[in-house]
Structure 1
Amino acid sequence: MSTPSPGRTSCDPSLPSKASDITVVRIELMAVRLPLRRSFATSSHRKDHLDHILVRLTDREGAQGWGECASPSHPYYGPETFSSCWNALKDYFAPLLIGERWDHPEELEAVWMRIRGNLFARAALDTACWDLYAQRRNRSLASALGGSAEQVEVGVSLGIEESISELLDQVDDHVGQGYRRIKLKIAPGWDVAPVAAVRERFPDTPLQVDANAAYSSTVDHRRVMRALDGMALQMIEQPFAADDLLAHAELQRELRTPVCLDESITSASTAHTALGLGAAKIINIKVSRLGGLTEARRVHDLCTRSGIPVWCGGMHEFGVGRAANLALATLPGFTLPGDISGSDRYFTADVLASPITATRGRVSVPSAPGLGVTIDRDAVRTHLLEKISVAQ
């Protein structure tokens, strides 16, 4: 397949006008802990709460923008952690942004380019800048990004359970709620049997699996992939290590089921390489993993030009990050249900005054300026672990 080179976004109704420049004069970092309704297990670990970083920007006109750093607490999904993101935001990203004049969030790539990696940390500020930018132009974030959908179809991601019967109960509950797709976490020892049981009970339900890079390209593990290939799955997500694109390409040639890449895709450039190698037929676009909305939109545009379907993945975001994901998922290339299920599925209380909810597998996209949501300041204070400010 011939894959065009990644470049600046082609979906650009939000190109800057020089009507107003933006200067951020204050950045607040808030470490917030929300307990999960139910513990969630992947191939690497189990968690019962989430610690994320909320970012609030204030510009010289008094306008504010919000973002969320949804990095895991431990380096299992990727190299970043809550602590590393906190330090990167406090010591590097925030000081570079303070006092910088800009008209469009894309301009800030030149400001942050000296900092290598730290994509989850970067994503928080990039999202907050997009929120601020859209508000200053009295546009919804979805509109500013170039999206138009008023609702987004969503699926649900289910973790590794203690037993197959518990898993079946979870699937039954969420199918009954109308979710448009079920994703099952898998790992060596928890793969063929539970997936087969779900497929037998729910023969017509769109189903996919996610390994979070838990497998290797050994004969035994490839045998597992071939067994899953016969279960009418929408996709097999990230079976091998993030940097093993050749193994994914070899596997894709062996399977009828599309391979989807998640952890492997950290930029439009890595997406371009993966597609050029034939390592995937579907791409999971995550705002956090890609360093923000700017690069996420760029990957969307690359995949759309290449005829590759994409969907919006999630990192169990609080309402701030979830609203940003919703806005991104309104772009036309997002043709598969995303992991943007209702906040009430995960948390007893969110940081939004009106939490994001799903109705029969659809979530309405906020239409108010910026993220279009109202932060519940009392909820933030209740669950606050630490707060610092960086000012001009």
Structure 2
Amino acid sequence: MSIEKIILHKLNMRLKFAFQTSFGAIQNKEFFIVEAVDAHGNSGFGESVAFTSPWYTEETTSTNEHVMKEFLIPLLRENKIEHPDNITDIFKPIKRNNMAKAAIEGAIWDLYAKQQDLTLTEVFGGKKTNIDVGISLGIQPTVTDLLEDINDYIKQGFKRVKLKIKPGWDIEILREVRNRFPDTPIMADANSAYTLKDIDHLKKLDDLGLLMIEQPLAHDDVVDHAKLQRELATPICLDESIHSYDDARHAIELGSCKIINVKIGRVGGLTEAKRIHNLCLEKNIPVWCGGMLEAGVGRAHNIALTTLEGFTLPGDTAGSSRYWEKDIIKPEVMVENGTINVPPKNGIGFEIDRDALKTFSIGQWEYEV
């Protein structure tokens, strides 16, 4: 496939609200839109998902910028690309930095789909025409605020509710939620806030009928999670621990989890995400697509990924208006009664709003490939 240049658009967008997790609050989102352009003027788009601080992984917006400019883009110049699947091997000499890799790889996947006159879903092998989505709620000022939010989103038809928890904001809160919403699929996301010393405390989750608890222990662990899963009836879902196909394989073999959250940026791109999906499908491990407070381009990639058959649990890809006053795509991602219709247009299925891209831009760099 032909790629003539890579354009890095650095954006700063402000969320409608501060999203609170166990590791901090996020409201201003600084990130990159990567544009891959061919000789015919076709453009493909990818989005970086790292935050400005290394809360979630070691990557940040600044490290993404450095790695893309100094290492990944030069590697594209030095290698022939037959297919987007080649990008994983081309970038292999650069250790980790998965979010930087995924941003560029995503743009190339989108460009490839457009060159083939196909949707990203079609070239990726997805079959669904719509996907189910849930809602992710941060830690709220009060339980009353939380219950009101949950009620609002259930009325809107979201298929499940994910609640952030941490020590001091967990069992009692979840119990109140369960009492108010006895039949709602509910999961808890701990973002590594606990240790094995909390086993007896976490076992209280088993009385609440949760869909899962996500990443209760250390961000890089699979061994202790296996010990915890043996003690819990509640399924453990791994998130931060899974950066690759091999991480997923090790976790499954050890019995560290019963569910895996697949995030494109965290695992290094769509190619690796599909490999993990295929493994989990073979091993009967349900998967779902997690969110990273993406703008429209990242959401579009998440939608395409979720069309694969193994994504049987609702993901975090809510509509654009949930997070942004204005998104950078046209039309914006819309949720109706807890589902998103997969767009039929080629590539990611959405057009870039160039005016919005310019409005939110804080820098732009262009590189010949």
Task: Give the TM-score category using the shorter length.
Answer: over 0.9
Shift of 1:98: 3.2
Cα shift readout 1:297-316 (whole Å, capped 9, x = no counterpart): 00000000001110011101
1:186 paired with 2:186, answer no
**Alignment partner of 2:26: what SS?**
strand
CA distance in 2, matches of 1:149, 1:68: 23
1:235 paired with 2:206, answer no
Cα shift readout 1:186-237 (whole Å, capped 9, x = no counterpart): 111111121111111111100000001111111xx22221111210000000
Aligned partner of 1:391 in structure 2 is 368
Aligned partner of 2:123 in structure 1 is 144
Taking structure 2 as the reference length, what is the TM-score of the superposition? Answer: 0.98
Give the alignment partner of residue 119 of structure 1, picking from 80, 98, 114: 98
1:213 paired with 2:213, answer no
Give the alignment partner of residue 71 of structure 1, picking from 30, 42, 50: 50
Shift of 1:109: 2.1
Q: How many residues align?
A: 369
Shift of 1:243: 2.4
1:47 paired with 2:26, answer yes
Aligned partner of 1:12 in structure 2 is none
Give the alignment partner of residue 196 of structure 1, picking from 165, 169, 175: 175
Give the alignment partner of residue 296 of structure 2, picking from 309, 319, 324: 319
Aligned partner of 2:136 in structure 1 is 157
Aligned partner of 1:277 in structure 2 is 254
Structure 1: any 5+ residue segments left out of the alignment?
1-21
Taking structure 1 as the reference length, what is the TM-score of the superposition? Answer: 0.92
Structure 2: any 5+ residue segments left out of the alignment?
none
Give the alignment partner of residue 2 of structure 2, picking from 12, 16, 23: 23
**Alignment partner of 1:92: what SS?**
helix
Contact 1:23 1:99 in 2 (8 A): no
Aligned partner of 1:15 in structure 2 is none
Contact 1:24 1:98 in 2 (8 A): no
Contact 1:25 1:98 in 2 (8 A): no
Give the share of equivalent positions with the same residue, in percent.
43
1:250 paired with 2:227, answer yes
Aligned partner of 2:282 in structure 1 is 305
Shift of 1:242: 2.4
Q: Alpha carbons of 1:154 and 1:183: their partners in 2 closer, same or farther (altered >3 Å)?
A: same
CA distance in 1, matches of 2:341, 2:79: 34
Aligned partner of 2:354 in structure 1 is 377
Question: 2:352 is matched by which residue type in structure 1?
Answer: I
Contact 1:161 1:167 in 2 (8 A): yes
